[in-house]
Structure 1
């Protein structure tokens, strides 16, 4: 074999990058399985964790034009299995122009304990982080719990979050599980359902079990009030305020843990246009976090979270370009213009990667009762070529928007996900 061409080296590099991430996810899948097994013990001993005295908890729900869903969310929060004298529920009506205020006024008649904080421009309409900061100022609980306006937490959700943190001062935040309430509406919601299960049982449970790392999600999590006061609340410049908050909590010397028995159900996008806008915001936010903290990576005192930032950089940087280059080489190969001189069982390698994706994803889906179906297996086979490939478009779109804003000097606006109300 002669010297390798540039196309050969690019091809080899893409294979190495893709397989590194695949093998890492195999390890996370096994770690997630270990966490799944231990959850049976947690379920069997729930009553042993009951506290003699429960601390005061403030539940914050930011709401901007949420008239379609906020009523159901308030009703679910009113049913929480938590001492009523120890919980305050605060909905932040953030400059809503629809009937959100009217719905909340009616709910206050039914539930006098419901507190509504209304903020209008210029104080309001600045995104979720700003709304949470305003709600936090109006709260007094020792612990703060966050739910999105489309969430219906199960009755014991908050109680389990509290019980996981109150006797362990090393834990700064606790993250629960979220499930897709509208999973059976259409193909998109079924894909999202599989994606969220995969994220939680592999990325969340696997990293928590293996490295003691958990990412704060935008809903169903609890954090100590003292931490928020120390770090100045939520960062209003971060589009993914949850990911950014995660880094700062770890850098304060605390741990974050994930517990699967605190569950909330949320409504996911039912239209592709809404989903693309939502995921573009997520991608832009993650790119901002990666860019900011990679530049300050040596200033982070917690080496574990520094390693996690590098992992996200690998995913959005090296792995992303590896997929782009491999797809390009594949297309050029079909046209006979790839420039490859290498020979080998590349089709077998690709089939193994595809099989590994199916294997990992279907295992994580099986961790949830009733989800390990033939239908979901077929959907996983399909989503590799469709739903997953759209991630490339989303990242490109987010990067282009971020670059455009940087050139023009504009500031990224926080996009609120549209609700169907179904």
Structure 2
């Protein structure tokens, strides 16, 4: 231990091949950030984990292997829990303690300074130490001493405001209301079958038209902001690095070994001072695929791994909530593993926050795709995201109504995010829910014309899994916020209440109702066509006429006309919206693919019914979307 400088030189310069200049930079950051030398070297792009492991082996160090299930806290566990960031930054795990012994596992045997700090904290000299890989030490610390943080990550929303938590899918009052409506419907159909059938059909057609019409109007409102620029180039140029605050980036990953290397390179392109970035890679403790990929990385990375202890539900919001307790940024954002954010995005958001009043707590940036031309599905997906983020969300912004956040590239004032309780770990569209909770507390959300590129789903079944989770989450969010409709109305006002009904409720309602009404309409039109007569004859009476006479009682001609009008106009509006979506990004080659939108909606309907079934059978199940399937490497926004 007394030969610290010699040992460090041997490990880091001779074996790990760190230059003298790099060591000077690391030592400067070590003092500035209060992290250990090795922590800085591994998490700030100086040294790869594989190179560090090899340097230890070359030095003859035998690496310790943890038996994670058998780990238990030491007698002074409260001190460790209270100072967990210190142990994480030091990469030191207290393995055993009694009156005579203190055994620790560490990652840097040359780190005498942090070993002394731990000894002073625990008021005991280290009698024995072993050396282990940094990720193993981090996992041991989080899974052994991070359980209090984990409990808050899962239940904080529930403890603060039970009514805002999706842990209960249907309340008793909601189940009663659903039962009463179904009972009344059955009774009315029994006593007044024709009138009931016509009335239900009219109501469904009317609500479907309203939901589509609302999105159409939002797009028109959003188009007024098509060329708006909230932060000019001149304003951005005035931003000085020394004035920038710490910025936390959360990177939740699960079985993302395919894209973890791309993530490292994408992070390097961010234009923000390295020493002011606080990047957390959130890894589930049982995700051996990603865990091993990070351990064996053969090039330096710019993130600090955070191993989330095991707990249900296994959702992205739970992982992000856990990461909050180890974050130190004034602002915070989330990126997915495959994201390619605009290199200037953090500075743009910072500049915008300086212009906004304190009531603005979230800035949502646009999302789009870098593999938009890969196949038909990626083209349709790109059209959808383009009108959603480039037109609809700006439309909501201009109307000053609740904005459901996207799953990534949403930037928060960290203190306000903590005040809101973070995300609901039981809601599988935690982003949309958080946007509504923020608005209900008189906070505001706005959008910014900065784009993060993602990987568009290029596989049908993978797309269904992803979209079914999204739609299920919208159902969850609707049920949560409609537990007390009058209270919601008082919180968000008439404009916000109606926007919530048509945007959140209308989204899943449209996809559930669309195929049902379409099938009825096609069936009636088929009967009117007389085509059935060419297939079946029964006692010389055309079957189509017989059926048509029976069906016409329930579906009179005037109702058929209304249904045809509704479907034609509704589909034309959405085709028009999709066509508009190409203009801001000048993706003119996609414009004709908007004609396929009616079939794309049927895919949504399949997802919606899958999501509805899961809402009842497994509401918190996070349907995994596989990434890294694309063969495209294009990263332009054009």
Fold conserved (TM > 0.5)?
A: yes
Aligned partners of 2:486 and 2:200: how far apart in 1?
30
1:124-143 matched pairs, under 5 angstroms: 126-143=314-331
What secondary structure sits across from 1:38 in the alignment? coil
1:4-403 matched pairs, under 5 angstroms: 8-39=198-229, 42-43=231-232, 45-47=234-236, 50=239, 53-95=243-285, 97-105=287-295, 110-111=300-301, 113-120=302-309, 122-123=310-311, 126-168=314-356, 169-260=358-449, 262-300=450-488, 301-303=491-493, 305-311=496-502, 312-317=504-509, 320-321=512-513, 324-336=516-528, 337=548, 338-339=551-552, 340-343=555-558, 350-369=567-586, 371-373=587-589, 376-384=590-598, 386-403=599-616
- The answer on whether the counterparts of 2:511 and 2:608 sit within 8 Å (CA) in structure 1 is no
- The answer on whether the counterparts of 2:282 and 2:308 sit within 8 Å (CA) in structure 1 is yes
Q: Which moved more, 1:181-190 or 1:53-62?
A: 181-190
1:184 deviation in Å? 2.1
Shift in CA distance, 97/212, structure 1 to aligned 2, threshold 3 Å: closer
Aligned partners of 2:513 and 2:566: how far apart in 1?
19
Shift in CA distance, 382/30, structure 1 to aligned 2, threshold 3 Å: same
Q: Deviations over 1:100-124 (max 9, x none)?
A: 234434669624x52111234x348
Aligned partners of 2:326 and 2:340: how far apart in 1?
23
Aligned partners of 1:69 and 1:213: how far apart in 2?
33
Aligned partners of 2:467 and 2:411: how far apart in 1?
24
- Give the match for residue 33 of structure 2: none
Aligned partners of 2:565 and 2:377: how far apart in 1?
30
- Give the match for residue 179 of structure 2: none
Higher relative contact order (CA 8 A, sep 6+): 1
- The answer on whether the counterparts of 1:277 and 1:415 sit within 8 Å (CA) in structure 2 is yes
Shift in CA distance, 50/123, structure 1 to aligned 2, threshold 3 Å: same
Aligned partners of 2:264 and 2:459: how far apart in 1?
25
Which structure would you say has the larger Rg? 2
Normalised by the length of structure 1, the TM-score is 0.87
Shift in CA distance, 298/48, structure 1 to aligned 2, threshold 3 Å: farther
Q: Which moved more, 1:290-299 or 1:331-340?
A: 331-340
Gaps of 5+ in 2: 1-193, 529-547, 631-638
- The answer on whether the counterparts of 2:313 and 2:620 sit within 8 Å (CA) in structure 1 is no
Aligned partners of 1:286 and 1:91: how far apart in 2?
27
1:185 deviation in Å? 2.0
1:297 deviation in Å? 3.0
Counting matched residue pairs gives 406
1:155 deviation in Å? 0.7
